[in-house]
């Protein structure tokens, strides 16, 4: 009866909670990778924007130099000395080694402007006996001729109203970079101008402050040269790490900008976010599963308790009805005078008394349990002799047991100390164990009561050779209302309260109850009283 509603409740919980959670988890786990790719792309776009801003800044700086040269070149014919001074000032304030101006690709009217002071080293050549100026002029002409296509593009851009700067690799001994652009000329074709720039100084002096500014303490930006990635500048000292993004410097093609997140890489950050999200999803599912199991277990327990209470009411009704029916039947027979024999009357009176005692025990058991449940059960502790209590019980039950075919024995240990205990409660516990032993003894009707002392405890042992209890049921027989649901035990009627009362009584005495049982070979219940706790023991005098 209980299995079907439990199965229905389990299916409902799975459909309402676990299945949606499972679908959601599968969807989220499937979308984690794409989500993390989007995050990685966003980070890369952000880093790309940073590198773009650095490149744009470098071009803006050089454009400002070209604008100064262009403005002054327009007035060169009027004030040639001022023009030379302006170029000298520009070279002094910036990492520009030398500047040249030529009218056209025919290289007519080539003029060279050298650094204004010895501190700024101009381009030098190996000594082959020719003057330095002649060597430089020859080098300039060679560079212009070799890059005719780039200069032609500059003219094209200029006709479109845009001044562009072209970068030329010089292969000079000092690794200078040549930047070529066009100067405005009011009457004639624009002139060609070139600046030999020291790339290392340009990066450190000009780009360095900008790189520090855009890094914001969150990124590490470095500039590297060539394919061997020789580092020439870095915003913050750090050990070599995996580069998140790398871009070429527009004006310095042989140099690359690289950027990484400070403290971690984008890949590790994305991976970390992926695993954190995955762990959170797993934890969420585990919590849901635990919650569903907790709810299901509580519902199962409530259903089991309701079933047990229903069985309890049925069993108690049967237990009460049997003695009441016998008492009613035999008392009615005696009242109507149908029994003539005195022996038969005595027998009927005995049955009525026996059933009345049985009825009283059932009612007392229910009342005791009710007091325990309400927390009103009180115990009267006194100094008692365990053997005397058991002996009284034995004397009361001996005749009844023998009449029912039992071998009923009592083995007292005369050396037991006196205990501080409730004699009525102990009697109730032992009687419950005797009743159980009698109920569940089938072919071998043997019940033995024994008292003894072991180490720091005194125990009462009730042993039978009945049907025994399985290991699975031994874990639950002390629960209230619990009765075994199969086999011979289930067929024997009872309230399911006896062992619960015994356990509560032993706990009140700060003792314990032990069970040793094998199916088909009987059971042994042992009530243990600890001599080292508040149940004070006294040696017999």
CATH number, domain containing residue 147? 3.30.450
Residue 527 has pLDDT above 70, yes or no: yes
**Predicted TM-score of the model (pTM):** 0.47
Residue 269 resides in a domain: no
State the pLDDT at residue 316: 64
**Nearest in space to 284 (alpha carbons), one of 16, 8, 9, 26:** 26
The C-alpha atoms of residue 356 and residue 322 are separated, in whole angstroms, by: 11
**Nearest in space to 180 (alpha carbons), one of 65, 51, 82, 81:** 65
- Which is it for the CA torsion 340, 343, 349, 355, positive or negative? negative
Distances (CA, A) of 467 to 170, 405, 502, 520: 106, 17, 20, 4
Higher pLDDT, residue 66 or 218: 66
Please name every residue paired with 367 in a beta bridge, in sequence order, or none if there are none: none
Please report which confidence band the pLDDT of residue 261 belongs to, taking 50, 70 and 90 as the band edges.
Answer: confident
Cβ(223)–Cβ(123) below 8 Å: no
Please report which confidence band the pLDDT of residue 161 belongs to, taking 50, 70 and 90 as the band edges.
Answer: confident
Please report which confidence band the pLDDT of residue 449 belongs to, taking 50, 70 and 90 as the band edges.
Answer: very high
**Nearest in space to 36 (alpha carbons), one of 267, 270, 279, 272:** 270
**Nearest in space to 263 (alpha carbons), one of 227, 305, 215:** 215
Residue 95 has pLDDT above 80, yes or no: yes
Which residues span the domain enclosing 513?
378-538
Return the minimum-mean-pLDDT range out of 31-40, 272-281, 515-524: 31-40
Give the number of domains in the chain. 2
Q: DSSP for 70-130?
A: HHHHHTTTT-HHHHHHHHHHHHHHTTEEEEEEESSTT--S-EEE--SSTTSPPP----SSS
3-class DSSP assignment, residue 178 = strand
State the pLDDT at residue 437: 87
Q: For the chain, first and last CA: distance in Å?
A: 60
Residue 291 resides in a domain: no
Quick one: average pLDDT of 16-45?
69
Quick one: average pLDDT of 102-109?
87
H helices of 119-237, where?
132-146, 148-159, 199-201, 208-215
Residue 116 resides in a domain: yes
Distances (CA, A) of 268 to 45, 261, 478: 17, 10, 57
The C-alpha atoms of residue 312 and residue 306 are separated, in whole angstroms, by: 10
φ and ψ at 100, to 5 degrees? -130, 155
3-state percent breakdown (helix, strand, coil) of the chain, nearest 5: 55, 20, 30
Residue 167 resides in a domain: yes
Residue 406 resides in a domain: yes
pLDDT mean across residues, the chain: 79
Side-chain-side CA neighbours of 475 within 13 Å: the count stands at: 2
Percent above pLDDT 70 for the chain: 79
Cβ(421)–Cβ(509) below 8 Å: yes
Helices vs strands, H then E, count in the chain = 14, 17
Q: DSSP for 36-79?
A: HHHHHHHHHHHHHHHHHHHHHHHHHHHHHHHHHHHHHHHTTTT-
Residue 128 has pLDDT above 70, yes or no: no
The C-alpha atoms of residue 108 and residue 119 are separated, in whole angstroms, by: 30
- In this predicted model, what pLDDT tens digit does every residue of 215-250 receive, in sequence order? 877 788 889 887 778 888 888 876 555 666 778 888
Residue 489 has pLDDT above 80, yes or no: no
Residue 536 has pLDDT above 60, yes or no: no
Query: Among the three residues 197, 216, 231, which one is the final residue of a domain in this structure?
Result: 197
Radius of gyration of the chain (CA): 53
Residue 487 has pLDDT above 60, yes or no: no
Residue 77 resides in a domain: no
Residues ≥6 apart with Cβ < 8 Å to 264: 272
- In this predicted model, what pLDDT tens digit does every residue of 294-347 receive, in sequence order? 887 888 777 777 776 766 666 666 667 767 777 888 788 777 877 778 788 787
Residue 121 has pLDDT above 70, yes or no: no
Return the minimum-mean-pLDDT range out of 32-46, 93-107, 112-126, 342-356: 112-126
Query: Among the three residues 197, 220, 235, which one is the final residue of a domain in this structure?
Result: 197
- In this predicted model, what pLDDT tens digit does every residue of 364-415 receive, in sequence order? 767 776 766 666 678 888 899 999 999 998 888 887 788 888 899 999 998 8
Query: Among the three residues 149, 172, 197, which one is the final residue of a domain in this structure?
Result: 197
State the pLDDT at residue 539: 47
Please report which confidence band the pLDDT of residue 348 belongs to, taking 50, 70 and 90 as the band edges.
Answer: confident
Residue 276 resides in a domain: no
CATH number, residue 480: 3.30.565.10
Residue 188 resides in a domain: yes
Higher pLDDT, residue 260 or 139: 139
Higher pLDDT, residue 511 or 288: 511
């Amino acid at each position: 009866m209980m299995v079907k509603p439990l199965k229905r409740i389990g299916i409902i919980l799975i459909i309402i909670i676990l299945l949606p959670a499972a679908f959601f988890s599968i969807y989220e786990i499937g979308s984690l990778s794409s989500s993390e790719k989007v995050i990685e792309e966003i980070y890369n776009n952000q880093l790309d924007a940073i590198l773009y801003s650095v490149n744009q800044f470098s071009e803006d700086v050089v454009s400002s130099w070209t604008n100064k040269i262009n403005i002054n070149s327009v007035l060169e014919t009027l004030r040639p000395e001022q023009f030379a001074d302006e170029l000298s000032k520009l070279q002094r304030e910036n990492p520009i080694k030398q500047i040249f101006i030529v009218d056209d690709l025919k290289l007519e009217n080539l003029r060279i402007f050298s650094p204004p002071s010895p501190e700024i080293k101009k381009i030098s050549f190996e000594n082959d006996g020719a003057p330095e100026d002649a060597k430089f002029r020859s080098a300039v002409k060679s560079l212009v001729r070799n890059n005719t296509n780039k200069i032609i593009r500059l003219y094209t851009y200029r006709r479109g109203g845009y001044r562009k700067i072209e970068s030329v690799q010089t292969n000079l001994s000092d690794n200078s970079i040549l930047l070529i652009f066009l100067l405005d000329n009011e009457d004639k074709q624009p002139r060609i101008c070139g600046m030999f720039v020291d790339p290392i100084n340009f990066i450190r002096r000009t780009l360095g402050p900008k790189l520090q500014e855009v890094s914001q303490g969150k990124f590490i930006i470095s500039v590297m040269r060539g394919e061997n990635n020789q580092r020439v500048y870095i915003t913050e000292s750090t050990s070599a790490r995996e580069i998140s993004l790398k871009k070429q410097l527009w004006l310095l093609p042989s140099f690359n900008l690289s950027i990484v997140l400070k403290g971690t890489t984008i890949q590790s950050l994305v991976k970390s976010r992926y695993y954190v999200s995955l762990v959170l999803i797993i934890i969420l599912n585990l919590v849901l599963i635990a919650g569903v199991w907790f709810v299901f277990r509580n519902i199962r327990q409530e259903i089991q308790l309701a079933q047990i209470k229903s069985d309890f009411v049925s069993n108690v009704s049967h237990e009460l009805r049997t003695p009441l029916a016998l008492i009613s039947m035999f008392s009615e027979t005696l009242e109507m005078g149908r029994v003539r024999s005195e022996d038969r009357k005595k027998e009927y009176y005995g049955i009525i008394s026996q059933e009345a005692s049985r009825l009283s025990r059932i009612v007392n058991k229910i009342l005791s349990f009710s007091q325990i449940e309400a927390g009103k059960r009180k115990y009267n502790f006194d100094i008692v002799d365990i053997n005397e209590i058991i002996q009284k019980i034995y004397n009361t039950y001996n005749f009844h047991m023998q009449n029912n075919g039992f071998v009923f024995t009592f083995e007292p240990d005369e050396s037991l100390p006196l205990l501080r205990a409730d004699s009525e409660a102990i009697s109730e516990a032992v009687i419950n164990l005797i009743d159980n032993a009698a109920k569940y003894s089938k072919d071998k009707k043997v019940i033995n009561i024994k008292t003894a002392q072991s180490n720091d405890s005194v125990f009462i042992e009730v042993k039978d050779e009945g049907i025994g209890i399985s290991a699975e049921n031994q874990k639950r027989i002390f629960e209230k209302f619990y009765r075994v649901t199969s086999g011979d035990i289930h067929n024997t009627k009872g309230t399911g309260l006896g062992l619960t009362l015994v356990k509560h009584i032993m706990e009140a005495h700060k003792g314990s109850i032990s069970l040793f049982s094998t199916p088909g070979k009987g059971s042994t219940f042992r009530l243990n009283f600890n001599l080292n706790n508040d149940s004070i023991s006294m040696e017999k005098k």
